[in-house]
Every structure is written in structure tokens, then in C-alpha cells.
Amino acid sequence: MNEIHKLYREMGISGEVIDLSQDVLSALSDRFEDIDRNAEYHQMRVLRAFQDNKVSEASLIGTTGYGYNDIGRDTLESVYAQLFHGEDALVRSQITCGTHALALALFSNLRPGDELLSISGAPYDTLQEVIGIRPSKGSLAEYGITYTEVGLTDSGDFDFEAIRAALNERTRLIAIQKSKGYSDRPTLSNEAIGRVSKFIKSLRQDCLIMVDNCYAEFVDKSEPLDLGADMVVGSLIKNPGGGLAPVGGYIVGKSECIENAAHRLTSPGLGKEVGASLGVLSSFYQGLFMAPTVTAAALKGAVFAAALYERFGFPVRPGSRDERHDIIQAVTFGRADAVISFCKGIQAASPVDSFVSPEPWPMPGYDSNVIMAAGNFISGSSIELSADGPIKPPYSVFFQGGLTFAHAKYGIMNSLQKLMSDGIISL
């Protein structure tokens, strides 16, 4: 037994799981090489953006109070605009999470009487209260903004004819959620987003197209803004924060859209000029610099998880050989206890709170009990090793993150070990 296998055994992984994992990994070398090449490409893009925008030591020093003339904050927003190919960007610690960033983009670019159209089906659970699909204080519905949605086709593509029929004179903003959320559908590619954006603009040039880019940064080589989208929105405690950003969100896109968002975030008349960065800029910059390689580690973990659970016949989306457009891996178990055991295995493999046992609970913003496993350095950071799932049919778990592949690998091995010890899976 070599040293790493001995250490795995001491950390609770059986010889059977170790051997199976090694067998699975031996078939993934070509997939991992592709991921590494993609990471190198994006690493050079990030480095060039830092250099082109003259990031300096002064850029890492924050401001207090009003935050006027915050060189580091303004430079960071120029870096984001270049990376995601937008005219302007809003990157702020005052944006509390991805849902907040999406709400900010929607509220600032919609007006009473407008209609929001989702063309990727029902949005993620937490956004449903923002829209007013589920009644909530301060929703878009309370401001007289209506909503309709068009689902994807059975093959997971956009339904062009249904979109044509749904467009009307009040349609102002088209929302596209790239990742699957808690639904059983494929993640949307930038190529597909480009096709539908071109179609929409041919019908209604004045409609804004917003892409929820969460979990997808640095995965595809193209960017939605290159292909017809007007805004991309995301969270800094996912891919672009590289596991170092302690909070924050971003919106990148057309100058007018960003200006609207800035005046909504702060105050009319103030916009982007205020908003002290305090002490987070160094983490924002360094996290962004690390993001391509951290995202690559998460992608390798997702591919490994898919390949491992494919061996047991569980439906996985995407499959281990499928093209990937985000870091999320779904595994459908068909039973609640398996989802719970999987998450307990991930939690026990965490560097923080490994001794805690997660349980399903009625989490705010969701329509069912949800279990979440995340022993992270940054609370809620899903670029770190984490897993979660709603306790409802078809009983799927969603795995994502891993600051290093070694950690992601161990977490997945431990999830399988827990399923075995609970009598749900046998080798």
C-alpha cells in the first residue's frame, strides 16, 4: 500500500473505494488534459486583463466612507469588463449574493408595465420570490412588472416558436439561466445562447437579454456578451472569486444597463461614484487571478463524480464524457436517504465543520426542505467543495466546487463511502 492509500484508509476510505476510484481516474486523463488547456487559456486572459488595465499595488488598497476616487474598485471593474467583453461592469462587495445581483439587474432595467420573459423555463428557486412567482415583499410583481416563461424543448434547446409567440409589446427583458438550478435539464452552452439571442434581436432589437452566468465563468471559451446578450450576472463567491473573495457580485454588459444598476444599488445621482471597497480588494483581485485554475479543479471534481456514479447506474447530468458549460454535477438517486447520505459524506470531508452533520431544513427562498453540505472558509461559497439538493422527487443531489482537485476527489470518495456504510450502495 502506498503512502496516499494508507492516508486515505486512515481517513475512512476503504480499499474497495480507493481501487474503484483509481480505476475511474485512469480513464479520465484525456478529459483532464482538456480542462487544463482551457484553464491555461483563461489564465492568460486574466493576466492580460490585469496588465492592460495597469493593476498596481495601489489597486489593492481599499477606501472608506463614501469611496470617492476608489482606484482599485474602478480598475477592477475595468478588468471585469475586459474579461467578459462588456462595455462596463459593476463589481461590488455591497452586492450580497448572486440572487441580489440578479435582482439588481432586473429592478434597475425594468419599469412598471414592462414584462419579464424567461426563456429557459422556471428560474432558480430564490429568484422566484424576486419576480413574484411566489408572493414576497418587494417583488417585481408588486411594482406592476409582469412575468411569463417559456420552457426548453425536450432535447434541452430553446423553443424558438414559443419564444416568438410569447414576445409582445410589453416584453422588455429576456432572462436566460445558464445553469440548471435544481431542474433536470442540461446546462445551456454559450453557442445556444448566441443562437437564441440572434433570433430575439431579429424580432425585437429593443429587448434586453440578461444571462445568469453563475457557475459558468471560465468554463466556455466564448462569452455570452460576444453572442448577443446585453448583461451577464454572477456571484463572487462562485467561480470568479477563486475561493478568496469573501462576498460580492458582478454585472457586466452594456453601459446603460450598468449605469441603471449602479444608480439602483446606491442612489439616483450617485451611481458608481460611491461605495467604499474597505479591505476586500486584495481578495477580489487575487481570487480573480486564481479563478481559472480553481474552476479547473472544480471541473475535474465534477467529471470524476459523474464517472464514479455512472459505474453504479445512477443517472448523472452531464455525463463524464459530455461537453460541460458549468461546474455543477447532478446525480439522481431516486430516494431521499441517498441525497442525505451523499451530503453527509461531503460535509465530513470538509476542512471546516467536518464534525457537523447536515440535515434537511425549510431554507428561505425554497419550496421544499433542502439539505446543504458546505464546510467552507467563506460561508456559502459554492466554488468550494459543496453539495446540496431539495428533498423532493426525483431526489437529485447537486455537487460543485473544490479549491483543489485532491480535495474534490476525496469528498466524492467519502460520499460513496457514506452511501456504502448506510447500506444504500454496495460494491
Report how far residue 280's alpha carbon sits from residue 277's, in angstroms, rounded to the nearest whole number: 6
Q: What are the CA-CA distances from residue 21 to residues 11, 28, 125, 372 (Å)? A: 15, 11, 34, 24
Q: What are the CA-CA distances from residue 205 to residues 139, 171, 200 (Å)? A: 27, 11, 7
CA angle 302, 308, 314 (to 5 degrees): 95
For the cut 70, the answer to whether the pLDDT of residue 1 exceeds it is no
Give residue-wise pLDDT tens across range 119-155.
999 998 889 999 999 989 999 999 999 999 999 999 9
> What is the reported pLDDT for 235?
98
Give residue-wise pLDDT tens across range 362-413.
977 677 899 999 999 999 999 999 999 999 999 999 999 999 999 999 999 9
Regarding predicted confidence, which is higher, 184 or 239?
Answer: 239
Report how far residue 299's alpha carbon sits from residue 315's, in angstroms, rounded to the nearest whole number: 18
Averaged pLDDT score across all residues of the chain: 96
For the cut 70, the answer to whether the pLDDT of residue 19 exceeds it is yes
User: What domains are defined for the chain?
Assistant: 3-43+289-421 (3.90.1150.60), 62-278 (3.40.640.10)
> What is the reported pLDDT for 286?
98
Using pLDDT thresholds of 50, 70 and 90, give the confidence band for residue 181: confident
